[in-house]
Amino acid sequence: MPLNVQCYARLLAEQGLKHHLDAEEGVLRIVLVTRAYRNARGEKLLILTVDAPDDGDRLRARIAFAFPPGDDPARLCLLLCRLTAETPLVAVEFEAEREDLALVAEMPVLDGSVTAGQLLALIDGLVVAAEEWQLVMDAHPSMRSIDQRGRRVG
């Protein structure tokens, strides 16, 4: 039997991780305070979603609009793709029409089961990537001139 977000909600509840189940959209939302990562408003806060695509045969965690694409999304995507090569399970997705540069981590659901440890590891990997990649972006000379809304400054 494929897993769904209600199954993942139970696992998170058992682990004491606060979340919101959006049954209408079929996702879990988790809001976390961060140390380095800044969202589009410049807040040290991220919103991560968990869903079960392919009829529950995959588990996916996603941070939508993770980084502003700026006026040169190709340059930012290239930098992030280089970082993905060093980061297991984490990938970058870019939807140009929505200007959504998202961080994504996913895994197949084998034998119809996911443990709490696997779910938490997937979430943790995505959060760690967002935190570390923010530091790289802040230090990268070509990214310093882009504000959190993706506009060039200076």
Q: For residue 144, what pLDDT band results from cuts at 50, 70 and 90?
A: very low
Q: For residue 135, what pLDDT band results from cuts at 50, 70 and 90?
A: very high
Q: What is the pLDDT of residues 25-48, one digit of tens each?
A: 999 999 999 999 999 889 999 999
Topology of domain 5-139, CATH: Yope Regulator; Chain: A, (3.30.1460)
Q: What phi, psi does 48 have (nearest 5°)?
A: -115, 140
- What tokens were used for 72? 């040169």
Residue 93 neighbours by CB distance under 10 Å: 13
> What is the Rg, in whole angstroms, of the alpha carbon atoms belonging to the chain?
16
When the pLDDT of each residue in the chain is averaged and rounded to a whole number, the result is 88
Q: Domains of the chain: which residue ranges?
A: 5-139
Closest CA to 122 of 8, 21, 19: 8
Residue type, 114: V
